[in-house]
Structure 1
Amino acid sequence: MVKSLPARAEVKVEETWNLGDLFESEEAYEQAVVAVKEEADTFTNTYKGTIQDAVSAIKALEAYQRLQELLIPIRTYVSLSVSGDQTNDQAQMRSGKFGSLAAKIASQTSFVMSELSELSTETLQQASQQSDDFSTLFEKTIKEKPYQLDPEVEKALAAFSSTFQAPYSLYNTTKLVDMKFPDFSVDGQNYPLSYGSFEGSWESEPDTAKRRSAFDAFSTKLRDYQHTTAKTYDMHLQAEKTTSDLRGYNSVIDYLLMRQDVDRSLYNRQIDVIMKELAPHMRRYAKLLQKIYQLDQMTFADLKVPVDPTYEPTVTIEKSKEYIDDALTIMGEDYIHMVNRAYSERWIDFAQNTGKSTGAFCSSPYGKHPYILISWTGSMEDVFVLAHELGHAGHFYNAHQHQNAFTARPSMYFIEAPSTMNEMLMANHLLANSNDPRFKRWVLSSIISRTYYHNFVTHLLEAAYQRKVYDLIDEGGNVNATILNDLKRGVLEEFWGDAVVMNEGAELTWMRQPHYYMGLYPYTYSAGLTISTEMAKRVLKEGKPAVNDWLSVLQAGGSKNPVELAKMAGIDITTDKPLRDTIAYIGELIEQIEQLTEEIG
């Protein structure tokens, strides 16, 4: 039975992350804030107006990089403190205060990009050739020159940066602080409900009555906040639209894709091909679940149930380390050393508590070790999630050793490839170490229900919905709850067809994800998993040579664009072959699950 969550102060310290590795005390944090203010003033006084040629540009960037390296741990400490407990007043106030400071420094130092953009293309190319460290940044500056605004306008926009981020903060406050879920009742028995418990347990609860009742109660509470959440999202959209118009982009989508360093054809292909060609496979999977559970109809509330509910192993935190070490050994000693440090040095926040951010993520501050947030429930799914986040950690752990603060982070298009690669390695390891049909079916269904459903269905359907939203915004429109509900329901119905009944509340799914405040993030999950699926096949076939290629990709960080990074891994994403091969692979996995189900009886 799902229990009510404890307060942050009541959870075991050893199950929380150690933010002391960022700052030993609040006093140390405050001293760092004072130091970064002084550094920003010194930097501005020294370099403003001096960027006039290749040599002065490189010199200014070296100092600017030092300033950013001071800001990064402060920003991370503030962000992680709030993520661990949104109800913590001190963390909330610290976050607001730092947001204002960060905006001030951004405005104060906006002259850097303005002065770089005012240099001729020839000068920027010359600077790129003279500096390996900053060549990527100089090339990016050349690309974005046409969209750079007057320096005073850039300064004003930077000053408003914390205001532009306010909708995301408001979304999280509504979702994680104000939204209180009532108990739900089944056969006279009450059960506690929260955001975390619904997404972590009730959504995949094998008992149909409990699962559907939890879904109804969860949806009822979401509906109470739909208009506030929609207005918050519309504020975010209008700010993006205004910015893209000011900069001269044809659309918000073009503006957001510029950051990802990919063209629109890759974006549209990912959505269009999956919506059309993956849908038949997933409808078969839905029908299989309906048959296993003997449901009169398959509803949206039933899609997350496990294929074999009585065969879900429970896993302790310590046992998860064994699974992950065994699965990722192929990545080499240095990689496994990082994984072991993540456990022993408390890089991971396992605790379940009120106010904690939902889902899971990895934060990788440059110059420091990564931090991972997860709410451990003890399911094998958690092991896959943790392997996923350790994939992000391993990516930046490698990139930070070979790249500077400006070139460590790759395009968002590529960001989910290393994480989903680890999920594939985990699944392949489990399959290779058992001949038990039931265990094999469980592993295969975990790959479908966790890895591919999460990345190729949940997030891809977000992307298809998000594209429709931006199309509407680009036409000069606004959105409200009614419009967003209609758009979301339409996308769900298009994908699932008559295989799944969209019960009341399915349309509110748009309210559950923070990804809409992070640019065109949702479609990149499937893009990353397409790359990692192809890479995992190479690793299975070739072993160490393929792993070495992959480690080189991780070490390249953001020094190359997504097409170049994929090419380093031996994958050509300029064609649709990797995507169609991945969809065919998903179909094969579902076919194997169907065959094993017949065999097991």
Structure 2
Amino acid sequence: MNHLKNRQEVPEMEKWDLTDIYANQEAWEADYASVEKMAQELKSYDGNITDGATMYQFLSKQEEMVAIFNNVYVYAMLHVDLDTREQASQALLDKGRSLAVKLNEATSFFSPFLMSLEKYTLDQYMSEEPRLSYFKDDLYDTYRYKDHVLSKENEELLSQLGETFSAPRNTFGMINNADIKFGNVTDDDGNEVELTRGMYSKLIEDENREKRKEAYKSYYQPYVQMKNSIASTLSAAIKNNVTLSKVRHYPSALEKSLFANKIPKEVYENLIDTARKNLSTMHRYTQLRKDILGVDELRQYDLNVPLVSGVKEDISYEEAYATMLEALAPLGEDYVQTVKEMKGSRYIDVRETPGKRSGAYNLGLYGVHPFILLNHQDDLDSLFTLTHEMGHAMHSHYSNKHQPRITASYEIFVAEVASTVNEVLLIHHLLDEAKDQEYRKYLLNHFIDQFKGTFFTQVMFAEFEKKTHELAENGEPLNTETFNDIYEDLFKTYHGDALTIEEETKYGWSRIPHFYRPFYVYQYATGFAAAIHIANAILKGDKDTLNAYLSFLKSGSSDYPIELLKKTGVDLTTPEPIENALGVFEDLVQEFATL
């Protein structure tokens, strides 16, 4: 069992080098002050944009200010994530959040002003000032929001309430990352040690059922204890979202979330409907799991243990990186070489250390480079996580390199495609290399569980969000009991009758950070379906799809996400990509059952 290293024990090459953003805190403070000053200057444009030239001045200064602000904020955020207990870092981030509010206040007048212009006036500004063409798509796209932008006074008021609206999410973040203490578990030598998240992810896969049960009970214990506090923060987050949707005249909170990317509501509903129609394979797999484990009652702590024993292996970080490079070879030399260089450039923070933020992510900072956070555990899951986050990092790298700042960042809707294509390439590589039938079964089992987690679990979460937001929209109460009932019912529906529900199961909602980013998780499932289509075509040697995919990685947000994906041959407005992905799932379960 891994015991946490102190940060000092981790090799330098496995830690972020944040001096790539700022050499020291003095440089950070200087940029902080310059953003404050620029925000004041931008306020002076309120009421004074009268032609194309002044509009261009305002927009280019605003872009410059936001670029510097991003550096300021990200630097503080990354420091906090390395140790959420560190008060000095927390103070920097608090300053960053306050600065965000000032920045929004200074520029909140612009949207109502733009909406007040007739289209022919904007056309005239464009013809007067050729440099405005850089902002053209954004300016005309803003007109889509005409019905959802409030008066100048109300927009200012809403921007001042920014911190208030984000309070539930920030509160849950502190509870989940800094305050929660899991109970103790017994290590291999019979000693009691405090459970960590990284340890839990290993123990819940342990072949010893008692160990799994002990870890499961210990892990859920603080969430059950704090159920009412967490229900209060989640309820507030949902109600805030519903309130903002109403204030901005959207038909529903769901449609507000989908509006920016022009995602039709049908894409969300079609995802849930198609998944529900195909739950029989998922139920078959749950029954298969129960049969193979030979248990009278299949429990939630039995859902993650590999069904093939004796082949679980330790994979060091070095080995994991080398395997990933081999697996990504179908994406071409430039792709693989760039991934190789990231390892030696300290773009990746590798190890779990005390106080470090849990999980993994990639953050692509324009003009600097991607930053990848891991909590690497030297196992197969960690190899997949590394490969997943590298997909995001390469998406950031290519888009930042090939797009101007205004279109460099990609939308969340397409973000999961790049990460999942990498994972699909990895599993196929591992299956191709597997000489031993037991290891092949182990990998199939791993891919099925991966599919379950990235597709079915996320669709279940998406349905939970839809139901809870609809209750709030109808003025129904949201509390621990409501959340428990909905979550338990969905868990039963998705897993089938072979699973015996644990008392803790219904509290699953209380540990999900993504619920504080409304209607986010469904994109894991749509991205997964799209990625399976693209990766399978690339593996069959389809050069057109490969070229279209590499162009997609370089596209940032130069078009709406649905349109960008259509260029790779995936149309998510139809059930076809979802059904194709579920066909792959059925084949995997069939092969696994046969073996």
Calculate the TM-score normalised by the size of structure 1.
0.94
Counterpart of 2:65 in 1: which secondary structure? helix
Q: How far 1:59 sits from its partner (Å)?
A: 4.1
Deviates more, 1:365-374 or 1:5-14: 5-14
* Distance across 2 between alignment mates of 1:334 and 1:147: 44
Using the alignment, how far apart are the partners of 2:125 and 2:269 within structure 1?
Answer: 35
**Are the structure 2 counterparts of residues 92 and 311 from structure 1 closer, same or farther at C-alpha, using a change threshold of 3 Å?**
same
CA displacement 1:13-53 (0-9 Å, x = unmatched): 432222111112122211221122222223333x3334345
1:315 and 1:380 in contact (8 A); partners too: yes
- 1:113-169, Cα deviation, whole Å (9 max, x unpaired): 232222224455677896553233124301111100011211121122122222111
| 1:430-464 deviation digits (Å, cap 9, x = unpaired) | 223334322322222222212x1221122221111
Aligned to 1:415, what secondary structure does the other structure show? helix
Native 8 Å contact 1:402 1:556 kept in 2? yes
Partner-residue secondary structure (3-state), 1:505: helix
For residue 66 of structure 1, what is the aligned residue in structure 2? 64
Summarize the Cα distance change of 1:50–1:538 in structure 2 as closer, same or farther, 3 Å threshold: farther
Q: Which amino acid is the alignment partner of residue 386 of structure 2?
A: L
* 2:39–2:102 contact (8 Å) kept in structure 1: no
> Are the equivalent residues in 1 in contact too, given 2:14–2:346 (CA < 8 A)?
yes
Q: Structure 1: how far apart are the matches of 2:125 and 2:560?
A: 19
Verify the 8 A CA contact 2:286 2:499 in the aligned structure 1.
yes
Question: Structure 1 128/420 Cα, relative in aligned 2: closer, same or farther at 3 Å?
Answer: farther
Letter in 2 for 1:170: T
Count, aligned residues: 592
Correspondence 1:584 to 2:591 = no
CA–CA separation in structure 1 for the residues paired with 2:30 and 2:268: 44
Residue 272 (structure 1) shift: 2.0
Contact 2:456 2:494 in 1 (8 A): no
CA contact (8 A) 1:392 1:418 kept: yes
- Specify the alignment match of 2:226 in structure 1: 225
1:221 to partner: Cα distance: 2.0
Q: Tell me the residue number matched to 1:138.
A: 139
In 1: Cα distance, 2:469 partner to 2:185 partner: 36
| Map 1:78-477 → 2, pairs under 5 A | 78-124=76-122, 133-184=134-185, 189-197=190-198, 199-277=200-278, 279-450=279-450, 452-477=451-476
Paired residues of 2:399 and 2:553 also in contact (CA < 8 A):
yes
Taking the aligned partners of 1:273 and 1:563, their CA distance within structure 2 comes to 18
| Structure 1 Cα separation of the partners of residues 12 and 22 of structure 2 | 17
Write the mapping of 1:40-51 to structure 2, written as runs, cut at 5 A. Answer: 40-45=39-44, 47-51=45-49
Cα distance in 2 for residues equivalent to 1:305 and 1:30: 49
| Shift, 1:501, TM fit | 1.3
Counterpart CA distance in 2 for 1:414 and 1:13 is 33
Aligned equivalents of 1:589 and 1:124: distance in 2? 55
Distance between the aligned counterparts of 1:408 and 1:44, measured in 2? 26
Change (3 A) 1:237 1:9: farther
Report which stretch shifted further, 458-467 or 182-191: 182-191
- Measured on the aligned residues, the alpha-carbon RMSD in Å equals 2.1
C-alpha distance in 1 between matches for 2:51 and 2:490: 51
CA contact (8 A) 1:2 1:201 kept: no
Using a 3 Å threshold, how does the CA distance of structure 1 residues 362 and 127 change in structure 2: closer, same or farther?
farther
| Conserved 8 A contact 2:350-2:374 | yes
Is contact 2:290–2:498 with CA below 8 Å preserved after alignment?
A: no
Q: CA deviation at 1:9?
A: 4.7
Counterpart contact for 1:530–1:579, Cα < 8 Å: yes
- Residue 548 of structure 1 corresponds to 547
SS in 1 for 2:409: coil
- Of 436-445 and 321-330, deviating more is 436-445
TM (norm. structure 2) is 0.95
Q: 1:135 to 1:328 in 2, by over 3 A?
A: farther
In terms of mean alpha carbon deviation, does 417-426 or 188-197 score higher? Answer: 188-197
State the Cα deviation string for residues 208-233 of structure 1 (Å, max 9, x = none). Answer: 11101211122222111111111111
CA contact (8 A) 2:266 2:573 kept: no
Residues 552 and 497 of structure 1, relative CA distance in 2, 3 Å threshold:
same
Alpha-carbon distance between aligned partners in 2 of 1:529 and 1:126, rounded to the nearest angstrom: 44
| One-letter code aligned to 1:530 | A
Letter in structure 1 aligned against 2:516? Y
Q: CA separation in 2, counterparts of 1:319 and 1:588?
A: 30
Identity %: 28
Which digits, 9 at most, give the CA deviation of each residue in 1:471-523, with x for residues without a partner? Answer: 11111234111211111111101111202111111111112221111121111
CA apart distance, 1:77:
1.0
Shift in alpha-carbon separation, 1:406–1:437, aligned structure 2, 3 A: same
8 A Cα contact 2:289 2:307, kept in partner: yes
Q: SS at the partner of 1:542? A: coil
Alpha-carbon separation, structure 2, partners of 1:167 and 1:11: 34
Using a 3 Å threshold, how does the CA distance of structure 1 residues 24 and 439 change in structure 2: closer, same or farther? Answer: same
**Contact 2:195–2:215, Cα closer than 8 Å, also in 1:** no
Tell me what 2:506 maps to: 507
After alignment, is 396-405 or 376-385 more displaced? 396-405
3-state SS of paired residue (1:350): strand
1:215 and 1:301 in contact (8 A); partners too? yes
Tell me by how many angstroms 1:402 deviates.
2.3
Q: State the match for 1:599 in structure 2.
A: none
- Does 531-540 or 197-206 show the bigger shift? 197-206
Letter matched to residue 238 of structure 1 = K
**Aligned partners of 2:339, 2:418: CA distance in 1, in Å?**
14
Contact 1:388 1:422 in 2 (8 A): yes
Change over 3 Å in CA distance of 1:416–1:40 after alignment to 2: same
Q: Which residue in 2 is equivalent to 1:526?
A: 525
CA separation of 1:505 and 1:186: change in aligned 2, threshold 3 A:
farther
Runs (4+) off by over 6 Å: 125-130
CA contact (8 A) 1:124 1:142 kept: no
| Greater mean alpha carbon deviation, residues 129-138 or residues 496-505 | 129-138
Q: Distance in 1 between matches of 2:159 and 2:7?
A: 34
> Letter of the aligned partner of 1:586 in structure 2?
F
Amino acid at match of 1:48: D
Q: Which runs of 5+ in 1 are unaligned?
A: 597-601
Find the aligned partners of 1:381 and 1:126 in 2 and give their Cα distance: 56
Alpha-carbon displacement from aligned partner over 1:516-572 (angstroms, at most 9, x marks no partner): 111211111001011111101210123443221101111111111122111110122
Q: Does 1:561 align with 2:560?
A: yes
Q: Which moved more, 1:562-571 or 1:194-203?
A: 194-203
User: What is the Cα deviation at residue 56 of structure 1?
Assistant: 4.3
Matched, 1:16 2:15: yes
